[in-house]
Amino acid sequence: MMGCLPFFSVETWILLLTFICFFVIYSNRPYGIFEKLGIPGPKPYIYWGTVGRHHKVYYEDDVQSAKKYGKVWGTYEFRTPVLAVTDPEMLKTILVKECFTYFTNRRNFHLNGELYDAVSIAEDDEWRRIRNILTPSFTSGRIKEMFSVMKNISGKLTASMRSKAHNNEVIAVKDIFGPYSIDVMASCAFSLDVDSINNPSSPIIDHASKLFRFPVPVLILQGFFPILLPLFERLGVTMFSKTSTDFFKNVLEKIREERSGSSNPGDVLQNMINSQTKGNDSYSHKPNHKRLTDHEILSQAIMFMFAGYETSTTTLVFLAYNLATNPEVMKRLQEEIDSTFPDKGAVRYEALMQMEYLDCVVNESLRLYPPAARLDRIAKETVKICGITIQKDMVVMIPVYALQRDPELWPEPEEFRPDRFSKQNKQSIKPYAYMPFGVGPRNCLGMRFAQVMVKLALVDILQNYSFSVCEETEIPLEMDYKGFVGPLNPIKLKLETR
């Protein structure tokens, strides 16, 4: 027998076999959970779980799973059980009714570096306190005050497009919308005039894109061995690029230093600073329910760049693509624009907000391409919802991309049809079938702000130009499998002067 076991001693063999047993048992441990609960779903692979079982692109995978398993199914992100839910009654309970009791928080890897106290990451009472302080900065009144700043930037954007249209250039649309989003965010959030529209090499664009690029090896390692997360945390490993977080931190610290007591630019940063004087005590390093600490202010400001840049840019990129590939929709929209603002007149806030067809077009583009393909919440306790037991600490995932392409909810879901959202048709949209900005108390804080900046840019551009497809336009699009919903290759279009 011993002759069959060359090279190693018996002790080494025992150790090796023990290790293999541990490796297999450890890897298989979480995988029976949905079977036990009677919830269907794809069969997991050892360590990888169900990642990419049906399709390489995770949100296309959700579409396939929804077709196959119905309104609730179980998946495993590596070794983590994730319950996917598209059932409207369950969504109402999870996102709205029981938001404050059982489903207040998102999944948290605790590898957040400096951003641990940003509103999107903070949990329970901390989150409520921060969100309550920030909400007044995003009311319609406040956004209206920022409108002239946005208009100034969208004017620069349309001017910068003139030579491109004139020279019949093929444009990568992200290259025009990325700088617009950055300039609007930086100006409205902290009155920083970056003018990246005219200085495309400005480092701020690079850092804003990098903020959201989670390191793949860390994602995989934490997926395989969640047990190592505390160790990663201790070693200072973070999901958010440290270089980019530090870049924004330095910029913001400088801005704060430069602000004298008397200056009040009325931006989001100043609203946060002003909130500090509302608290009873004067120690700005201690939180209380009315104001933010210095560190919290810094984290929120960075988080706004992080949450707003890529999402708004992607929304505009897909709008341009959908309009170029559906010229009859673009023509109808241009007619609405011309009748609302005759003779290419200046865009006014109230009139912009009342444009019905514009609203339909933006909604439909966000239905087909919601930048955030999935939402998630964590169950604080074991709870039974609509007959389904959701265990404590389980991740509940809402596959928004799949939900918004469900043929039962959206006839011919792949087609771009803005009229689905018209006044007459709106009523027939099922509750909880549409949520590009999330739903409930933890929905997108910047929703109204984003809608205004997107609509303004679109109207200003379409007053002067039309988008058109060209040889370089990829149809249909190949989708990116990393991060947000987005095209794998840059979307390329041409501009025609009107």
Using CB under 6 A as the criterion, which residues of the chain lie in contact with ligand HEM when the complex forms? 119-120, 131, 303-304, 307-308, 311-312, 315, 371-372, 375, 436-439, 442-446, 449-450, 454
Cβ proximity to ligand HEM: between 27 and 299 the closer is: 299
Minimum CB separation from ligand HEM for residue 454, in Å? 6
Count of residues for the chain?
A: 498
| Cα–Cα distance for residue pair 351/222, rounded to 1 Å | 49
Burial category of 283 from C-beta neighbours within 10 Å (exposed 0-12, middle 13-18, buried 19 and up)? exposed
Minimum CB separation from ligand HEM for residue 77, in Å? 17
Q: Is 200 helix (H, G, I), strand (E, B) or coil?
A: coil
CB atoms near residue 188 (< 10 Å): 28
| Cα–Cα distance for residue pair 30/44, rounded to 1 Å | 10
Which of 408, 455, 402 has the alpha carbon at shortest distance from 429?
408
Minimum CB separation from ligand HEM for residue 66, in Å? 18
Minimum CB separation from ligand HEM for residue 457, in Å? 11
Minimum CB separation from ligand HEM for residue 318, in Å? 10
Which helix (H) or strand (E) covers residue 163, if one does?
helix 140-166
Cβ proximity to ligand HEM: between 197 and 485 the closer is: 485
Minimum CB separation from ligand HEM for residue 151, in Å? 17
Minimum CB separation from ligand HEM for residue 449, in Å? 5
Angstrom distances, CA of residue 113 to CA of 211, 242, 245, 363, 496: 12, 8, 9, 35, 46
Judge whether 42 and 65 are in contact, CB under 8 Å: yes
Cβ proximity to ligand HEM: between 165 and 269 the closer is: 269
Minimum CB separation from ligand HEM for residue 463, in Å? 21
CB atoms near residue 90 (< 10 Å): 21
Cβ proximity to ligand HEM: between 357 and 449 the closer is: 449
Cβ proximity to ligand HEM: between 432 and 467 the closer is: 432
Judge whether 383 and 98 are in contact, CB under 8 Å: yes
What is the signed CA dihedral for 210, 211, 213, 218, rounded to 10 degrees?
Answer: 120
| Cα–Cα distance for residue pair 59/155, rounded to 1 Å | 35
Task: Enumerate the known binding-site residues for heme.
Answer: 444
Q: Phi-psi bin for 149: left (phi > 0), alpha (psi -120 to 50), beta?
A: alpha
Task: Enumerate the known binding-site residues.
Answer: 444
Cβ proximity to ligand HEM: between 197 and 398 the closer is: 398
Cβ proximity to ligand HEM: between 165 and 402 the closer is: 402
Which helix (H) or strand (E) covers residue 377, if one does?
strand 375-378
> What DSSP letter does each residue of 23-45 carry, written as one string?
HHHHHHGGGGHHHHHT---PPPB
Question: Hey, what amino acid is at 142?
Answer: R
Cβ proximity to ligand HEM: between 9 and 274 the closer is: 274
